[in-house]
């Protein structure tokens, strides 16, 4: 299928440059574009998504429960750091409700919302993205969004804290297809790959400030955050997490940062 003519960056509205070609779902050759302004890498016309989402959760994601356990710990730490323990929370794009179940087991008032997946594990605790929460989480979601401004508009317009994960790449050395696991080419579901710059611009356009570890954990917030939160989401903390991944790799002989193996 031909590439879109004159594609525009969904974050900063700059004309995208053709970067490379990638093989998605092991059968579709698709052009990958790069924004020269903010560094966003994108497949701007993802016509194959119906095929990619035949299953709402990619069947090759073998690390779902392990990742949810890690994210439940990090999120509970953030909630304590911000003094929000008595608050109300939403996991947006929450899949089968795995994280929400774990957070409710920690006695936190958590709900889940996902337009494309059934809440199996947290029945009775389906939330509404039009309501207000003390914190909204969105884990492994941003890389699935072809128009984040539009797709996040409802849930972010009336929520002051939006905590999410997406793995960033270096704008100065963008990775080629086949050299970076996060493209997840076999799934066909990852279509946008952010940089520090693209997140900063996106946050500003949505009326947020951003606190990020520069790697995978990011908090959009209106108003200040506490020092403990800045420490949790510091680049120093990200370095410690990366060292932990390297240690796990040497101990197990597996790559926990490959698709389906990321903790």
Give the per-residue pLDDT at 235: 86
Q: How far apart are CA 137 and CA 164, in angstroms?
A: 6
151 within a domain of the structure (yes/no): yes
Q: How far apart are CA 183 and CA 186, in angstroms?
A: 9
Domain with 164 in it: what CATH number? 3.40.50.150
- 202, with CB counted inside 10 A (0-12, 13-18, 19+), is buried
50-80: pLDDT as tens digits: 999 987 665 555 577 889 999 999 999 999 9
Per-residue pLDDT band at 5 (split at 50, 70, 90): confident
167-185: pLDDT as tens digits: 999 999 999 999 999 999 9
Structural domains of the chain, count: 1
2 within a domain of the structure (yes/no): no
Evaluate if pTM is beyond 0.85: yes
The terminus-to-terminus CA distance of the chain in angstroms comes to 35
9 within a domain of the structure (yes/no): no
The residue-averaged pLDDT of 197-210 equals 98
What number of residues does the chain have? Answer: 263
The residue-averaged pLDDT of 108-130 equals 96
Whether residue 102 is predicted with pLDDT greater than 60 in this model: the reply is yes
Give the per-residue pLDDT at 253: 38
Q: How far apart are CA 134 and CA 141, in angstroms?
A: 19
216 within a domain of the structure (yes/no): yes
Give the per-residue pLDDT at 239: 63
The residue-averaged pLDDT of 15-27 equals 98
């Amino acid at each position: 299928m031909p590439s879109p003519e004159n594609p525009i960056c969904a974050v900063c509205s700059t004309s995208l440059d053709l970067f490379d070609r990638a093989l998605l779902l092991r059968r579709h050759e698709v052009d990958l574009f790069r924004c020269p302004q903010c560094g966003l890498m994108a497949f701007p016309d993802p016509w194959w998504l119906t095929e990619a989402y035949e299953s709402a959760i990619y069947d090759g994601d073998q690390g779902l429960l392990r990742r949810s356990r890690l994210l439940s710990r990090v999120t509970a730490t953030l909630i304590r750091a911000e003094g929000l323990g008595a608050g109300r929370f939403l996991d947006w794009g929450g899949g089968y409700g795995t994280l929400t179940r774990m957070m409710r087991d920690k006695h936190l008032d958590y709900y889940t919302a996902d337009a494309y997946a059934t809440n199996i594990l947290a029945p009775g605790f389906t939330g509404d993205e039009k309501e207000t929460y003390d914190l909204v989480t969105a884990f492994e979601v941003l890389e699935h969004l072809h128009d984040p401004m539009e797709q996040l508009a409802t849930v972010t317009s009336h929520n002051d804290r939006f905590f999410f994960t997406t793995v960033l790449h270096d704008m100065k050395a963008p990775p080629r297809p086949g050299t970076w696991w996060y493209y997840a080419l076999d799934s066909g579901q990852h279509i946008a790959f952010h940089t520090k710059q693209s997140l900063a611009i996106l946050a500003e356009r949505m009326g947020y400030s951003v606190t990020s570890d520069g790697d995978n954990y990011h908090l959009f917030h209106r108003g200040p955050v506490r020092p403990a939160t800045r420490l949790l989401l510091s680049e120093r903390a990200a370095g410690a997490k990366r060292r932990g991944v390297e240690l796990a790799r040497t101990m197990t002989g597996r790559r926990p940062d490959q698709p389906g193996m990321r903790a």
